[in-house]
Structures are given as C-alpha cells and as structure tokens.
Amino acid sequence: MLTHLDLRKTRCLDGLHYSFEILKYYYVGLHDSCCKITADNSNVIPALASCWGFVDALHRIREIALSTPGVNARNQEMRAFLGATELAEEFRHYIQHLRGELSHNPPNTFPVWGTLAWVDRNNNKRTYIAILGAQIQGTNNSGCVYDTVKKEWVSMVCLGVNQKSFNFDLIYKASLRFQDYIIPHLVESASDEVTFHEKLPIITVELNH
C-alpha cells in the first residue's frame, strides 16, 4: 500500500511528466508557426498560443518541482533550472493579471500580448517582428536578441514584454536538462505501482436509450 509520502511523490511525478509533455507540445513547431506568419497573418494566433502556453506549462513545472518531496531546492540541478527559467514567473504574472496591467497610468509601452519576433528559416541574417494590436504612438516593439560574441541568435523565437526577452530555445534546453534529472530521480525512488504506459487504458461509456 502506498504511504502518504509515496502518494505525494506519485502525484508530483504525474504532474511533472504531463507538464513536460505539454511544454514540448508548445515548443515543437513554434518556429514553423512564426515563419508562416509572413505569408498568412492568421498564423499569429497559433504562434501566440504556443508562446503563452509554454510560459504557463513552465510555471507549472517550477511549482510542482518545488513541492515535490525529497527534492532539495538547493540541489545543483534544481538551482540551475530555477535560475534559467525565472523569467517565466514574471511573464506569467503579467498575463494572469492583465486587468491590473491595463489600468496602469501611464499605460504600458509594449503590446498587450507582447512582441513576437523570429529568425527567418532560410536567411539567418533576417528577422521579423509581428506588430500586434493597435498602432499607438509610443508603443515599443522588441526583436530577437543577437549574441555579438558568439555571432548567433540567442533564440529563433523571442517574446518581448516590458523590455525583457523570453528566449524559448535557451529556456527549453534548460527545461529538458532538468527533466533528465528530476524524472529518473523520482522513478528510482517510486513504488513498483508507479509506471507510465505508452498506451493509456481507456474507459468507454456508452448510453443506451
């Protein structure tokens, strides 16, 4: 029988497993969605949904990881992950509290949903910035960040809010590294009852009138 501690670890493991899968779902194809915007502006919606969905999933991973029994917040891998993904908290707080953000006086100088920018798929010297929303004088739009030392873009897709850049590529890599640490750590100490199934058991309910 699972103890209370075992149950907590199992629930945290479930939470992390699916949160990481959701994070991957939003990240894979994000750059492709952005690259399609220039030909069809309707693609900005899937791209924005992926950006903000990624932020929310990452916030959830951080929250679950910090509440997982037996995982020390001072662990080297934990500290590295929390440091690399700290910006997710600021971005999520912003989007979750838009009511307050939109009541600022003077108003914020950046677009409500942030600035979406990406690097061209075929021309690494070209980038794009989607100008979202009303074109109000004084609105600031930010672009992708270029590392002049390494001579490369920091991320192929960037979301800008309040003069800060959410660089998806860097943050995604940090998240995968943490996944490679936290999931095996929890599985190793888990009860034999804890298993992940490639094919989920599905319960079928059919109503007969």
Q: What does the pLDDT look like over 63-103, one tens digit per residue?
A: 999 999 888 888 899 999 999 999 999 999 999 999 999 99
Q: What integer pLDDT is reported at residue 9 of this predicted model?
A: 85
Mean pLDDT score of the chain = 91
pTM beyond 0.85: the answer is yes
> And the tokens for 120?
């061209």
Longest dimension (CA), the chain: 70
Q: Do you find a cis peptide bond into 106, omega within 30 degrees of 0?
A: yes
Q: Which residues pair with 129 in a beta bridge?
A: 117
What does the pLDDT look like over 18-40, one tens digit per residue? 999 999 999 999 999 999 999 99
Q: In one letter, which amino acid is 92? A: R
- Cα distances from 103 to residues 57, 108, 111, in angstroms, run 27, 9, 14
Distance of CA 101 to the CA centre of its chain: 21
